[in-house]
Amino acid sequence: MGAAKQTRFVFVTGGVVSSLGKGVAAASLGALFEARGYRVAMQKLDPYINVDAGTMNPFQHGEVFVTDDGAETDLDLGHYERFTHVRMTRRSNYTAGRIYESVIRRERRGDYLGATVQVIPHITDAIKEAILGIAEDGPDVAIVEIGGTVGDIESLPFLEAIRQLRFDLGEDRTCYVHLTLVPYIAAAGELKTKPTQHSVQKLREIGIAPDVLVCRCEREIPRAQRDKIALFCNVPRERVIEARDVPLIYALPLRLREEGFGSAVLAKLGLADPEPDLSIWRDFCARVEKADKHVRIAMVGKYVELADAYKSVHEALVHGGAANGAKVEILYVDAERLEREDAARVLQDAHGILVPGGFGLRGAAGKMAAIRYAREHHVPFLGICLGMQLAVIEFARHVAGMPDATSSEFDPQAKEPVIALMTEWERDGIRIRRAPGDDLGGTMRLGAYPCRLKPGTRAHAAYGRDEVRERHRHRYEFHPGYRERLERAGLVIAGESPDGELVEIIELADHPWFVACQFHPEFLSRPYAPHPLFRDFVAAALERAHA
């Protein structure tokens, strides 16, 4: 549609309760715009004081999603990338902490010339600057999601900023979309609209009148209730959108298209509304629905009580299953359980075993028990990040004859640190050249890095290429001082950095499918383009299921 036209902005807010699905709704709107040929940009504004999501507990916040440029972000950015073709960047996620940090830094430099620094205008101006920054590349529409729930104190500066942007940009370049809950009260046998009315009332008190309402509900909203919502919330009836629960989140763009969501927003923005091409979503949903095979994958982690802690891994398995005509049943296994119980008994029903990323010693022994079971019983295995590091340790201990093998993350005084910080490699007399931007203190390797694949390996066969780029989030690496010894014992180095200094993928040749990678392949998996490692892992598990 061309970048010459001024970018329109859609602001997505939420009310009543958290976890209503603002992220998926915003992502679906992006998909509906792309299906009409518009170019979109997407952004999440989070009101918490953390500078980024990197240090937040997965139990509270879910997974940390990593972008190509190394930003540690909210998991909603994963939804944005899976539903659209947009690659997120550092500009795609701002927190209150990051905004306040930038303002304080400016104040310390004297940029405000002695003015009293206040929420208005200094904080709100910084928020508006961040929002307008995603339009620098000239997208047709920028979709900006405001985290939290209307009424939260910490959200107020963000809401004030988007209120001001209507005055700055004009009525025809802005659209406010508000997501609310329409609960069903079983005892009364009816849906209740009062929570939505109160949520809109609270938003209007702040100075924002929603242009489109998206009503999350369990069942169809009768016409009378829709009319009531429209009347009391002062929103045209055709802009009251029903967002009923769907069995598969990738069906949401189709459902919202039927409800006229995209058309309502386009009408408000004064943009053309061509017929959308939603074939990729119809095709994917059809593949999932028609899948006639079944496979069980055991995911062994320490945050399994909250599925969102492994959201991208979960979705990548769904993508891999659809590519193989299979429904994937994920068995979430607490790693600490495998420290108390026999792994063979707990994992005996799994056709494949996956150990995802993580940090710290807790649960490591249980994860290694799962890895050992997969290796010894020829169960297809995929290890990710820490999952690869533990696979190396398990192999070193039980195959290469190195009982003291461990990671210096677990034991800083380790005798055999097969996994270590790069600074420790140098202390061992091994000189390693760091990639540009790597922190000298051994902090995280974040973002996309190239990986050269070894011909003849399963990884090379999966990708069908000699070199790929994958996203990383870790501090510890395969210690090169042990590489030759482990290779002699049968460990296959299937992928490495182009300079050969960093090990990226390991395999076992005498195993049906045993692959582990230092990076996070789940971040690049899409419903319309499943990640090759997940696709082939599920395929190997299917072979075992139907053997």
What residues are labeled active site?
385, 520, 522
Polymer length in residues for the chain: 547
Longest Cα–Cα distance in the chain = 76
User: What residues pair up with 141 in beta bridges, in sequence order?
Assistant: 8, 40
User: Under DSSP, is residue 144 helix (H, G, I), strand (E, B) or coil?
Assistant: strand
Distance CA 56, CA 525 (A): 24
- Would you give the DSSP letter of residue 526? B
User: Under DSSP, is residue 450 helix (H, G, I), strand (E, B) or coil?
Assistant: strand
Structure tokens at 219: 């069942």
- Between β-strands 240-244 and 503-508, what pairing exists: parallel, antiparallel or unpaired? unpaired
Distance CA 15, CA 208 (A): 13
Contact 338, 300 (CB under 8 A): yes
Contact 452, 466 (CB under 8 A): yes
| Non-local CB neighbours of 100 within 8 Å, separated by 6+ positions | 49, 123
| Non-local CB neighbours of 501 within 8 Å, separated by 6+ positions | 432, 433, 480
Distance CA 246, CA 250 (A): 9
Q: Does 121 sit behind a cis peptide bond, omega within 30 degrees of 0 on the bond before it?
A: yes
How would DSSP label each residue in 373-417? HHHHTT--EEEETHHHHHHHHHHHHHTSS-TTEEETTT-TT-SEE
Scan for tokens 């011909």, then name that residue: 455
Contact 177, 199 (CB under 8 A): no
User: What residues pair up with 384 in beta bridges, in sequence order?
Assistant: 517
| Non-local CB neighbours of 63 within 8 Å, separated by 6+ positions | 75, 78, 308, 309, 310, 311, 312
Contact 32, 78 (CB under 8 A): no
Question: Which residue type, as a one-letter code, is found at position 223?
Answer: R
- State CA 296 to chain mean position distance: 23
Distance CA 133, CA 139 (A): 11
